Structure 1
């Protein structure tokens, strides 16, 4: 992985942590994600005149990714109902890069090198450790919650592989990203109306400014990731992206005054070691 791609993905991870910290707390996560997705679509709409319309062979990847994103959102809803998302969602984030690495072998014939594999394992392990607070609450997970978390990880890995493949096939990563964000925005709105009904519209409308800001951050971060996947192995990029949890920890400690504990320190060291291994790989 080149230094430019490495630094770009790290910046995307920092943006990912930032927009997560900025999401409005008075909306539930589903409505917040929907507003954010519509913000990404708005940003993409502005960029339409400046990118090439995707060729016919690119659209199956866009449609597949849109469906994978929809499945991802539905599993998040299920995870909220089944258990504590603070535990189930991180399980999904920590597992997804491993699934992407395995899927990449079969989908795009990418076999990670030894150092890259070490980096992926360290990053995923650090992410899980950070998220589960050293494993202190693992006994509280129920099978239904675990099932939704693992299903979520499958969809994350699926749209990662789909977007990496589609971005490589498209004229540019920007072209692919713009039309993916537009399609995802349309389907997210349809999904929201089906799940929550028309009464969700006024609640989302009140937060359109937050949606634009977080949507721009999220869209830019994921555009960088898709561009990076055209320059480096998909599994390495997907894993490096999860270093966002390290940036989130830094925000929580230095900006929000939360306590730095031993488990957080150990998880941070694991993530940093994984980042270094991916850079060397």
Structure 2
């Protein structure tokens, strides 16, 4: 990767881990997701309007297909992530979600695309698997229903990450969508899908605005910048480099969860996060 791509990915990782800390603190549901999506829609509308006005962007039918599918995948990601944070620790759910993405991408590449990874890549895959298992595996905790649910939501979130990362790369290369437009388009998909739920649970929306408005504003801004940085890096960098490298956020997320939220099991989770990072670096080489 170029130094510019590395810089984009590292900055994105810090922003990503930070907004996940805010999401964990809020412990919201779909109504909270709707709230920060609406805020993102309003905050970034001027930038999108100016971009379209001066770039004279045109959109094909395929562009709308890419946006809709990406929006649905990312919506599933946000909802599953919020559910995971309601039942599990940040330092458990976040590494599982972010660590399984590169692993699933590698498995798909081997089984579906018939790729032949190098021994170093296989070593990296093994490290990711080992780190994920080390984070999740503790028999006395996994006997608790909430812990099992947290693991399940973390893995399902990782599936969504793998799906939208591969799909968004195609949207950028085949659909010729600008990163800002692709991101904003996905938000335009989220809001109408979630609006009926939000209207039906308006009391929860008002509660989150009253109690967690700063978290919602932070997520709206940080998640946007985080993913636009990744999309921009994907424009000039192969997805097989970006997808593993951005999971360095696992380390930041685990540090935030164990240090700021005092979630416990610090040593084991930091060791596991470090193993995942080693695996991710091996996959990227």
Please state which band the TM-score falls in when normalised by the shorter chain.
Answer: 0.7 to 0.9
CA distance in 1, matches of 2:280, 2:236: 17
RMSD across aligned positions (CA): 3.7
Write out aligned runs for 1:52-201 (5 A): 52-73=57-78, 75=80, 84=88, 87=92, 90-103=95-108, 113-123=118-128, 125-129=130-134, 131-132=135-136, 137-140=141-144, 145=149, 149-169=154-174, 170-193=176-199, 197-201=201-205
Is the CA contact (8 Å cut-off) linking 2:142 and 2:148 kept in structure 1?
Answer: no
Going from structure 1 to structure 2, the CA distance change for 1:4 and 1:96 (only over 3 Å counts) comes to same
Select which of 203, 207, 218 maps to 2:207. Answer: 203
Contact (CA 8 Å) 2:35, 2:205: kept in 1 or not?
Answer: no
Describe the shift of the 1:144–1:132 C-alpha distance in structure 2 as closer, same or farther (beyond 3 A). Answer: closer
Match of 1:48 in 2: 48
Task: For 2:11 and 2:119, locate their aligned partners in 1 and report how far apart those are by CA, in whole Å.
Answer: 25
Q: Tell me, yes or no, if the aligned pair for 1:164 and 1:234 is still in contact at 8 Å.
A: yes
CA offset digits 1:128-156 (Å, max 9, x no partner): 53x43777634446898366554443333
Structure 1 residue 161, shift from structure 2 partner: 1.8
- 1:219 corresponds in structure 2 to 224
Q: What runs of 5+ residues in structure 1 fail to find an aligned partner?
A: none
The alpha carbon displacement at 1:21 in A equals 1.9
How many residues are aligned here?
276
Contact in 1 for aligned 2:100/2:158 (Cα 8 Å): yes
Partner deviation per Cα, 1:153-198 (whole Å, 9 max, x = no partner) = 33332222222211223242223222223323333334444xx523
**TM-score scaled by length of structure 2:** 0.75
Distance 2:258 2:154 in 1: 26
Q: Which moved more, 1:182-191 or 1:160-169?
A: 182-191
Offset at 1:203? 2.0
Contact preservation (8 Å) 2:13, 2:249: yes
Q: 2-side partners of 1:65 and 1:45: how far apart?
A: 19
Structure-2 residue corresponding to 1:234: 239
Partners of 2:42 and 2:7 lie apart in 1 by: 27
Report the counterpart of residue 262 of structure 1 in structure 2: 267
1:34 and 2:34 correspond: yes
Report whether the alignment pairs 1:247 with 2:252.
yes
Q: Which runs of 5+ in 2 are unaligned?
A: none
If the length of structure 1 is used for normalisation, what is the TM-score?
0.76
Q: For residues 208 and 104 of structure 1, do their structure 2 counterparts lie closer, same or farther at Cα, with a shift above 3 Å needed? A: farther
Conserved? CA contact 2:23–2:85, under 8 Å: no
Quick one: distance in 2 between partners of 1:256 and 1:80? 12
The answer to whether the Cα contact below 8 Å between 2:172 and 2:235 also exists between their aligned partners in 1 is yes
Q: Distance in 2 between matches of 1:235 and 1:135?
A: 34
Other structure's SS at 1:54 match: coil
